[in-house]
Structure 1
Amino acid sequence: MMEVSPLSIILVKSDSKGDRLLFRYPFQVQETIQTPSKVRKNLYAFQGLEETIQSAVIVSTSNISKGTITGFSDEVLSSLFAVKTDLCNKKFELKVNDVRFVSHPTLIQLKNKQADKDDSGIMLINIVFALSALASHSVVRCYHDLSQRIGIILRHEEKRCGYISEQTLSMMSSHDEDPTNNGSAFQNILERCNLANNIKKIYEDLCSDGVVSVRINRWIGLSFCLPQKAHQWHLRGQIVEPEDIDRCIQALRPYHSLLLLHPVEHLIQYTCLDSSPSLEKLLAQYSPMKNLQTLAADSDLTLAQIFELSAHLVYWAKATVIFPVCGTNKYVISPRAPLNHNSPLIEKFNRLFPGCHLIQIINEFSVPTSLHSKLNPLCKTTLESSLAKYIIWMLQHHLLLQLHTYIEYMPTENGSSGSKSLKKCGKTPSPRASSVLSASYPEVARTESESGTSTVSEAPDLIKQLNLENVSFASTDDDKHDYQEELLLDFPDEERSQIFKIPATNTPDDLKLFARLCRKRYFEGTHHVEEIMYLENLRRSQLTQLLDKFRDVLITYDSEDPAIAMFSWNS
């Protein structure tokens, strides 16, 4: 997309000998527009920069042609980007018509003139990215970051071996050999100069998949990811902003899992140079059936390290976040899954799994279906069967959505009034409940501890405040009713009357668990079952039985987890 890919990369230098555009790529489509020359009253008058720009820039609605910039002469670009010292080492941004130029001008101390105290030993190097003016702010920030990184590398290489001095001298010689300025100088530079080839490689990587991997001067590796471009290959053109990825990573929890979008062997080969040993450990123990907490234990890494590595893989479009593949998971066909008869995914699936047809397999998930219902009860391998491989492949290609069960507390026809609603309505709670209701009940806030584990900020423990933990079940109906009243003391009268009609309230443990989960606001439709199980250390059977016993006041529905919905392509 034009708003994401660069239109051109321009290299400009400025030193005591003057400023010069050394290289630009692409240069094959450069057009020179002849404009009528202005008659000057004084033949010896100096033509200022403003006048030069006005005479050289096309008076047109667009300076973009065939995916690159046009209408700017080399002299104009050189004058624009050979900025003053005050503008160096900071973000530089300039918009001309429908083109936006972004860079980070860098001052470099020349190696062979380090002893000089004047400006003759200082050179300005500016790597400028020309973008469409429609590019978003996040795209502009990414290109500025890339320009800054390149500047830092060039400054380091000049200090180490005089790399910039050598490259600029070679480029200047090529320009002097071609005074006609018809474009052949850039071709000669591309054949002679390593830096020019690096710029070409950076441009091609940004335009292809948005992932840059190049070694400047065959020495320092430059790795860069443009997420707005990098995620398009698996999300079919959807623009993923870095802010979206940050929100997803912040919502990452130990019960989530990673789903690699490439085979493990491919990622090991891709990261073989200067790769992190921790990443190699993670890949060695990777499985989409493991949650991040289990993966950390198996990899002998801390949970914080696993989170950081997961964020890295997600940002670089090498993985997405899912819930671990298990038998209780419920899946349904994605509403935007490309499953027409001409879809290339059908042929790809058939090649990978001979004898199986994608349409036949995915048809089983036309309605929300759990994996347990598709497994053969006599099969000892359970999810280690071919079904798991099909599910993983379809998740990698965003053909399936995972649905989670959310719970809504609905004690009356109008829903839940809650203790706060009582105050709004002007109702006065009972004297015994007033002290309890004066306590605040914060929303469930998940934070990461220093070890990276997920915790939940506990609401005030009302049961302990009321000293009900050790209350034994009374033998008489009156005492039993008092016990129920104590447990539900902070519930509105209308809600308590509905809850008392449920037979499960006669069981102390069930009523305690129900009241505790209600007070912690798990039944407001914002926490799915898997999250409640993790945060409250409950077994699925405990929560399932509770939902069944209190089904008169609890309703359930299936929905996608919003924390990872951005990777579903249909969001």
Structure 2
Amino acid sequence: MEVNPLSIILVKSDSKGDRLLFRYPFHMQEKNEPSNARRRNPYTLPIVDDSLQTIPQPRSNINKCQLTGFTDEVLSSLFAVKPELCNRKFELKVNDVRFVSHPTLLQLRKKQLDTSGCLLINVVFALQALATHSVVKCYHDLSKLMGILLEHEETRCGYVNDEMQVMMTAHDDGYASNPDAAFLTILEKSILAKNLKKMYEDLCGTGLVNIRINRWIPLNFCLPQKVHQWHLQGKLVEPEDIDRCIKSLRPYHSLLLLCPVQSINDFISLDGSPSLKRMLTQYSPLKNLQTLATDSDLTPSHIFDLTAHLVYWARATVIYPICSTNKYVIAPEASLHLNSPLVDKFSELFQGMNLIRAISEFSLPTSLGQKCNPLHHPSQQSTLVQMIIWMLQNHLLLQLHTYIQFMIADQFVANQSESESISATRKMRTESESGTSTISEGLESKSEAETKNSSENFSYNSTDEDKHDYHEELLLDFTDEERSIIFKIPASNNTDDLRLFARLCRKKYFTGNHHIEEIMYLENLRRSQLLQLLDKFRDVLITYETEDPTIAMFSCP
């Protein structure tokens, strides 16, 4: 897997020269030749080929996901860079290995140990050459963070110089012939070496680094490409995808924790954000972010920042708050088989319930309101909500949102020939320009009772001609054919309905890119208003249900 590091290397350079102090892992085969390779017959004659026509085979420096083929001297000379290259990104590609680091120049606290008083320290990560740009950037950020913390500790108490002396002593005390023995000794005596070892194991394991430099300064780091794989079953999540999701956050969204609150509190360091702890005390997936901000006595922007932090660290995901109108359906790639470990976990958490039977009720899109029987006891409804939360946390369900598309159906055109449609449109234009009191053909077909009821909804007194002109102005952005069909809809005679319909169309809400919840938030509309409008103009508005693409990357693996 290209996100895992091949090795961590620590190199120093000062007035006494450069040296590789430590690297992990250090049990490496220096030869690329496999152990089961056949021994070469010493009596065979070598085959001499034309060197100009022979293409050299590319050499690999990766063996069993570890770095190989580089001696300590070669690595120290590669990464003991000049002072001009310090405090900036360093990247080097050799064969199929890419090295990335952030060399840092330190001022030694105990200058008597070095005449220049300067020490270059370089924490280098060896990666596969195929690692993406975002992965390389993450490791560079980690190397830079390590440099900053080591510089701080060197200034405070001379920590780096002391650790360097421990490592150099181990190399000089008779272990030069066996570098692995020297590294073992360093690992036993050096706190910094233990930190580097744990960092490597955390990066290859969970992707979350949680160590303390010099047993004092906490270093918390997240490799998002790795950490999101444990709950998305191997799906690679790039930081750019997370940023795109965070930028699309709205106050109507909600937060869904993927682990217990207590485990998040345990992970937070002692000097962690108190506002994060305050938000977690008020957390509920039934609250939107705006309500959560109010209950936590925090600003919405601060809540957004805390949400982004939890999502980035794979401690939470973004959903729409759980309510009775939400529609859920089984995720297409849900891990649902009889031997799935989720079946047993579900039975342990919800006594007497079966996961397959419970989730089968969502084979078709089903709203939570359809499942909540008002005659049931509140405890039963609470259990149902908890089951939905658990299924969302395990990516067994995904929520469907209703999207709206303005479309002229063929049935309207089939009711009349093309010539009749054109003549009717021309007639409407002529009547409007001549100032006559004739109304459109669609309005003439209305009964007197319907005309009387529609006229009562107008908020002003005017002639039929003025009403028609005003309606024409509302639909100036539509084509002649679209206006002709819209005017045949009875709801178009109601000015308020037509004005709302035209406004939403003009703002591109009916292009299939905005779901109902988003339109309600952006236009400050009630759900009943929007649903009534959809029903009145159902002849030209079609709806379909799908997941929200903004948070789809966190919905299912």
- 3-state DSSP of counterpart to 1:23: strand
> Partner residue of 1:129?
125
| Partner of residue 530 from structure 2, selected from 513, 519, 543 | 543
| Partner of residue 152 from structure 2, selected from 146, 151, 156 | 156
> Partner residue of 1:171?
167
- 3-state DSSP of counterpart to 1:563: coil
Cα-to-partner distance string for 1:424-477 (whole Å, 9 max, x where unaligned)? xxx99989x9xxxxxxxxxxxxxxxxxxxxxxxxxxxxxxxxxxxx96355865
Q: 1:193 aligned to 2:180?
A: no
Identity of aligned residues (%): 67
| Partner of residue 144 from structure 1, selected from 134, 140, 147 | 140
Change (3 A) 1:276 1:474: same
> Partner residue of 1:424?
none
| Partner of residue 100 from structure 1, selected from 94, 98, 101 | 98
Change (3 A) 1:414 1:20: farther
| Partner of residue 74 from structure 2, selected from 73, 76, 92 | 76
| Partner of residue 507 from structure 1, selected from 466, 474, 494 | 494
| Partner of residue 252 from structure 2, selected from 246, 250, 255 | 255
> Partner residue of 1:311?
308
Report deviation, 1:368. Answer: 1.0
- 3-state DSSP of counterpart to 1:562: coil
Kindly report which structure 2 residues correspond to 1:158-307, keeping only aligned pairs within 5 A, or say none. 158-177=154-173, 178-307=175-304
Report deviation, 1:272. Answer: 4.9
Report deviation, 1:70. Answer: 0.9
| Partner of residue 369 from structure 2, selected from 368, 372, 375 | 372
> Partner residue of 2:329?
332
Structure 2 gap segments, 5+ residues each:
34-55, 414-424, 433-456
Q: d(CA) in 2 for partners of 1:157 and 1:415?
A: 77
The residue type equivalent to 2:334 in the other structure is A
The residue type equivalent to 1:127 in the other structure is V
- 3-state DSSP of counterpart to 1:238: coil
Q: d(CA) in 1 for partners of 2:260 and 2:32?
A: 51
| Partner of residue 59 from structure 2, selected from 58, 61, 64 | 61
Q: d(CA) in 2 for partners of 1:339 and 1:530?
A: 30
The residue type equivalent to 2:515 in the other structure is H
Report deviation, 1:394. Answer: 0.7
Report deviation, 1:198. Answer: 0.5
- 3-state DSSP of counterpart to 2:106: strand
Kindly report which structure 2 residues correspond to 1:317-466, keeping only aligned pairs within 5 A, or say none. 317-379=314-376, 381=378, 384-413=381-410
2:372·2:381 contact (CA, 8 Å) conserved in 1?
Answer: no
Report deviation, 1:384. Answer: 5.0
> Partner residue of 1:569?
556
Q: After TM superposition, which residue ranges in structure 1, 4 or more long, deviate above 4 angstroms?
A: 427-431, 473-480
Report deviation, 1:408. Answer: 0.6
- 3-state DSSP of counterpart to 1:377: coil
Change (3 A) 1:381 1:535: farther
Report deviation, 1:33. Answer: 8.0
| Partner of residue 503 from structure 2, selected from 504, 516, 519 | 516
Change (3 A) 1:213 1:256: same
Change (3 A) 1:114 1:154: farther
Change (3 A) 1:134 1:414: farther
The residue type equivalent to 1:554 in the other structure is L
> Partner residue of 2:539?
552
Larger Rg: 2
1:238·1:569 contact (CA, 8 Å) conserved in 2?
Answer: no
Q: d(CA) in 2 for partners of 1:557 and 1:61?
A: 54
TM-score after normalising by structure 1: 0.83
Change (3 A) 1:257 1:382: farther
The residue type equivalent to 2:93 in the other structure is K
Q: d(CA) in 2 for partners of 1:290 and 1:332?
A: 21
> Partner residue of 2:6?
7
Cα-to-partner distance string for 1:282-319 (whole Å, 9 max, x where unaligned)? 10110111111111111111000011000000000000
- 3-state DSSP of counterpart to 1:385: helix
Structure 1 gap segments, 5+ residues each:
35-57, 417-426, 434-469
Report deviation, 1:486. Answer: 3.9
Report deviation, 1:340. Answer: 1.4
Q: d(CA) in 1 for partners of 2:88 and 2:411?
A: 58
Report deviation, 1:267. Answer: 1.2
1:100·1:132 contact (CA, 8 Å) conserved in 2?
Answer: yes
TM-score after normalising by structure 2: 0.85
2:477·2:506 contact (CA, 8 Å) conserved in 1?
Answer: no
Q: d(CA) in 1 for partners of 2:346 and 2:532?
A: 39
Task: Tell me the number of residue pairs that the alignment of Structure 1 and Structure 2 aligns.
Answer: 499
Q: d(CA) in 2 for partners of 1:33 and 1:563?
A: 46
The residue type equivalent to 1:148 in the other structure is K
The residue type equivalent to 1:386 in the other structure is T
1:153·1:216 contact (CA, 8 Å) conserved in 2?
Answer: yes
Q: d(CA) in 1 for partners of 2:461 and 2:344?
A: 67
Q: d(CA) in 1 for partners of 2:412 and 2:237?
A: 37
Cα-to-partner distance string for 1:60-107 (whole Å, 9 max, x where unaligned)? 631111221111111111111111111111111111111111111111
Q: 1:25 aligned to 2:24?
A: yes
> Partner residue of 1:533?
520
- 3-state DSSP of counterpart to 2:256: strand
Change (3 A) 1:292 1:33: closer
The residue type equivalent to 2:355 in the other structure is L
Cα-to-partner distance string for 1:232-275 (whole Å, 9 max, x where unaligned)? 00000011010010100011111111110011122122225211
Q: d(CA) in 1 for partners of 2:235 and 2:138?
A: 18
Change (3 A) 1:430 1:482: closer
1:102·1:128 contact (CA, 8 Å) conserved in 2?
Answer: yes
Report deviation, 1:507. Answer: 2.2
